[in-house]
């Protein structure tokens, strides 16, 4: 069976490679590109440092996430259908394989649609009077994310019967209905953490690729066919995207991919019963989100900055680190964290 999943990775890579260049050209024709703008933080204050480091990225097509999400969903359904057709067992660690499939694919679709709407608003600068809105308001975006995450979390609790988390060295913690709140927070946190991390060429996609390879290994170990198929296809698509996203990037994910990828990353960790691994292998996402949250909290309550600029990757740029240096070192940190996470996951 392992050879089948490896074949899926290659097939997905080839399909995405065949589609990526025409898709980039299509985005240019639509003028779906990074716009020059005066960025503002959640407190409606200018962010000139962010604009300075991103001015050279203006004009680059945005929407790579849309293609990868589409190919991941279509190819996953294709391969699962072929499994059923040829009588290959589709194994789920839960009671219902179809419901597990619905949960992971719904996650990708729902968050991708939210991100797509945000990308369209950012790209075409929908105006209202004299004011220009660059994407959805933060509070509106968080509210919609919260609603979607609650639906997904409740499905995991009611459909799949997940109501506990495993904590290494301590055992199992039964949460009951409280699992819905825990899962909702986890999905919401990593959705936005991934979006924050998606600020340098190849950064978020490279970190995610390494993290998904870790979950891929675990999915094989627990014999979950559905997650193994989805991860195989997703990894193949990410390999193609990363080829075009490394510095200097020819295409960006956009919120379509960033929100969908962050949410799906969290959901896969929850479905594998490895919620404790999310902050370990996703350590870079945690650092990026924590630095931004700390910055926003201090600004709100103390009216000053904790860091000269946040998140962490932007702070390192301000310190003089090159974009490629930051990206490669964050990848290396993720490799080490993933190895550590695998070691914990397979401890007897």
Alpha carbons 120 and 32: distance in angstroms, whole number = 8
Give the Cα separation of 310 and 293 in Å (integer). 9
pLDDT (tens digit, 9 = 90+) per residue, 244-274?
A: 999 999 999 999 999 999 999 999 999 999 9
Counted residue by residue, the chain has a size of 348
Per-residue model confidence as pLDDT tens digits over 36-63:
665 555 544 555 665 665 677 888 999 9
pLDDT tens digits along 295-333: 989 988 888 888 888 899 999 999 999 999 999 999 999
* pLDDT reading at 94 higher than 90: no
Q: Is 254 left (phi over 0), alpha (psi -120 to 50) or beta?
A: left
Does the pLDDT value for residue 213 go beyond 60? yes
For the segment 153-169, the average pLDDT, to the nearest whole number, is 92
- 88 against 329, higher pLDDT: 329
Residues 79/4, Cβ–Cβ less than 8 Å: no
Which pLDDT score is estimated for 130?
37
Average pLDDT over residues 118-133: 64
* pTM (2 d.p.): 0.93
The position carrying tokens 């995450």 is: 149
- Report the pLDDT value the prediction gives residue 129, as an integer from 0 to 100: 42
Which pLDDT score is estimated for 49?
A: 64
User: What percent of the chain stands above pLDDT 70?
Assistant: 91
């Amino acid at each position: 069976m392992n050879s089948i999943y490896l074949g899926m990775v290659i097939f997905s890579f080839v399909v995405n490679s065949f589609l990526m260049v025409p898709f980039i050209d299509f985005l240019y024709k639509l003028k779906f590109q990074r716009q020059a703008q005066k960025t503002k933080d959640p407190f409606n204050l200018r962010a000139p440092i962010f604009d300075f480091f991103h001015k050279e990225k203006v004009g680059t097509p945005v929407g790579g996430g849309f293609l990868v999400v589409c190919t991941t969903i279509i190819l996953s359904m294709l391969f699962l259908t072929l499994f059923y057709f040829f009588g290959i067992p589709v194994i789920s660690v839960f009671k219902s394989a179809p419901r597990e499939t619905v949960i992971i694919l719904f996650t990708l679709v729902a968050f991708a649609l939210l991100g797509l709407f945000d990308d369209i608003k950012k790209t075409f600068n929908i105006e209202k009077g004299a004011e220009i809105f660059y994407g959805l308001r933060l509070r509106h975006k968080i509210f919609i994310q919260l609603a979607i995450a609650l639906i997904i979390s409740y499905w995991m609790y009611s459909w799949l019967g997940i109501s506990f988390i495993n904590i290494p060295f301590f055992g199992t913690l039964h949460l009951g209905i409280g699992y819905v709140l825990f899962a909702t927070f986890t999905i919401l946190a990593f959705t936005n953490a991934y979006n924050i991390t998606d600020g340098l060429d190849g950064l978020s996609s490279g970190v995610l690729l390494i993290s998904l390879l870790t979950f891929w290994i675990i999915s094989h170990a627990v014999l979950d066919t559905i997650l193994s198929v989805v991860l195989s296809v997703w990894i193949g698509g990410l390999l193609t995207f990363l080829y075009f996203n490394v510095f200097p990037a020819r295409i960006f994910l956009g919120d379509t991919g960033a929100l969908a990828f962050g949410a799906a990353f969290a959901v896969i960790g929850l479905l594998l019963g490895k919620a404790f691994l999310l902050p370990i292998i996703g350590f870079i996402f945690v650092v990026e989100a924590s630095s931004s949250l700390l910055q926003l909290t201090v600004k709100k309550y103390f009216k000053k900055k904790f860091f000269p600029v946040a998140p962490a990757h932007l702070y390192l740029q301000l310190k003089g680190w090159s974009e490629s240096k930051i990206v490669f070192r964050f990848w290396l940190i993720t490799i080490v964290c993933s190895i550590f996470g695998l070691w914990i996951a397979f401890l007897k």
